[in-house]
Amino acid sequence: MHAQTLKQRTDRREASTAHSESASGALVLGALGVVFGDIGTSPIYALRQAVVDAGRVDVQIVMGVLSMIVWAVVIVLMLKYALYVMRADNEGEGGIIALTALVRSGYERAQRRVPRTLLLAGLFGAAMFYGDSMITPAVSVLSAVEGLSEISPAFGPWVVPIAAAILIALFVVQRRGSTAVGRMFGPVMGVWFASLAAVGGYRIAQHPEVLKALSPQWALSLAIARPGIAFTILGAVILALTGAEALYADIGHFGRRAIRVALVAIVFPSIIIGYFGQAATLLFEPGSFQQPFFHALPSWALIPGVVIAMLATIIASQAVISGAFSMTSQAIELGFLPRMRIIETSKQQRGQVYSPAVNAILFASVLFLVLGFQTSAKLTSAYGIAVGLTMLITTIQMTSVSRNVWGWPGWCVVLVSAPLLAVDLTLVAANIPKIPSGGWFPVTVGLVLFLLMSTWNRGRELAAVHADRAEPLDQFLNHVFNRDERPARVRGTAVYPGNKAGMTPAALKSNIRHNGVLHETAIFFANLSESAPRIDEAMRIETRDLGNGCYEIIARHGFVERMNLPRLLESLSARLGDWTYDPAHTTFFLPRDEVIKGCSHGEMTRWREALFGQMSFHSASSAEYYGLRPEDVVELGVQIAL
């Protein structure tokens, strides 16, 4: 069985590699719209904020900042993510959750227990991603709408209301899905990148001497001559890297090759030329330092430039919001978050999901940020620390993947990881002084979500240990059918979903104890979520005839797959003897969990036990998770001892 599992994993990986190596025009255009919205709109505010943080505008500052940005993009975006991190796909899927699952699966295949520190690091990275998802829409849309003030000062008082109105509309339409809007993403972002390159090229042609900043000597000279200012500037340079995680997170949708082609052929040259154009504007118009992006535009192009900037930032916001929905769905399947309501918004494109709870939380947070900070300049202080911590955790996880999944020798892992860790740690350190002025927000959000996710994950682990001590199903049924007072058999089918194969569902015990009946057909369903994103159909289902009209079904699914129990039962009719699935005569007995406090024997503190209990109580119902109609469900109270 283990050999077969490895073969199936290999087959799926080969299939995912074939997808990753595809780079059709449609995939490249799609990647241009979805993957690069965040990093593509960074030129609106990144160089501006770096110069503002420097506190002065002179040749050494401007050229040093430009050199820092160029080489940060080369090292982090091109070398770290495009060449290194994107190799670590989990059977075609990427992102911090998929990476954490890949780390876990590497230890599982070696039959070793994954270090809890690595698992917790992955959870903290996921928590910081949510903080990033809150800040990106606020800072992106605000920075673009602020361009209206460059058209006319009369727009100044209306910047915040207009930005808020755009964001409100964006979150309201989320429930309809992003498929229709997504068709426009690629062409609009294509126009955006063409505009960046055109305006940058226009300014470079006027002042070609700015190209000297391609040499890292300018960054080194600034660091040596003004180390304090250079360190401060690094806190803003990281803004040029926002969205780098999207390259990795979206490989499941577009593949490595399409993303790399879009990056090398369009995105990288466009944003670099755009930064050089802004620097040229700053050198010869020092008074433009408050808005160098908009000042770089020719006067006749200002209005269309502001319009396309607003469209691009809306796209960037949509992409990160959709990413938060997808990551939530994955985290639920891997046991990192309690069940929430997840709605599939597209039958044609996998991964298109919507979570009302996540949408509401993101909306409230984004609106708070816009109304509370008022300007994109203030919001950038909150942005850098979230981006830096997420990138740092990705590097830590990649170190484990390189060693334990790819089998690299130790010296090779150190050679690659040590410089990347040094870069990430420096960028994070440069943003720590910004915590009082705004960085506190993503850090607070991250810590709260990390506490929730780690508590839920730990509680589930302890509950699983308790489930291992449950009575074996065969033994329980043998006792039921061989005792003097057998339960009455009633017409129809009873289905008992659970998560532990071979063990007696608590709902079955409760039903027999309280009602004294057993349906003529009883199906015990074990639902197992794997560390792989998808499961091969040949290995998805196992069935076992237990006798006396009782069957056990073990179903496996990946963390990007959605479970629908009625559809699964309908497909199994021919595999369970003469039984046929009849929705009108099938009842699903689901447990309604109640956590018993004080039973973790010191494994969890009392307050974390209480927190786990509240999360369990407020999680979405099992009926919705399994795709069941409420009228087909009977819930039985079950106590869980941690």
Q: What number of other Cβ atoms are within 10 A of residue 464's Cβ?
A: 12
| Full-model pTM | 0.81
- With CA atoms as reference, report the closest residue to 624 among 355, 356, 341: 341
Q: What does the pLDDT look like over 462-472, one tens digit per residue?
A: 777 665 566 78
Give the tens place of pLDDT for each residue, 517-550: 888 888 888 888 776 767 777 778 888 888 888 8
**pLDDT-derived band of residue 72, with 50, 70 and 90 as boundaries?**
very high
The dihedral of CA 279, 281, 283, 285: what is its sign? Answer: negative
3-state secondary structure 353-389: EECHHHHHHHHHHHHHHHHHHCCHHHHHHHHHHHHHH
Q: In this predicted structure, what is the pLDDT of residue 81?
A: 92
- The domain segmentation of the chain, as residue ranges, is 24-431, 468-641
The reported pLDDT for the residue numbered 18 is 46
Q: Which CATH superfamily is domain 24-431 in?
A: Amino acid/polyamine transporter I (1.20.1740.10)
Helix, strand or coil, per DSSP, at residue 544: strand
End-to-end CA distance of the chain, in Å? 31
DSSP class per residue in 163-213: HHHHHHHHHHGGGG-SHHHHHHHHHHHHHHHHHHHHHHHHHHHH-GGGGGG
Q: How many CB atoms lie within 10 A of CB 358?
A: 23
Q: Is the pLDDT of residue 481 over 60?
A: yes
pLDDT digits (tens, 9 = 90+) for 281-326: 988 887 777 788 888 888 888 899 899 998 888 888 888 888 888 8
Looking at residue 290, what DSSP letter applies? T
Are 512 and 542 in contact, with CB atoms under 8 Å apart? Answer: no
Mean pLDDT of the chain: 82
Per-residue model confidence (pLDDT) at position 182? 54
pLDDT digits (tens, 9 = 90+) for 198-248: 999 999 998 899 999 999 999 999 999 989 999 999 988 999 998 888 888
Model confidence at 266, pLDDT cuts 50, 70, 90, reads very high
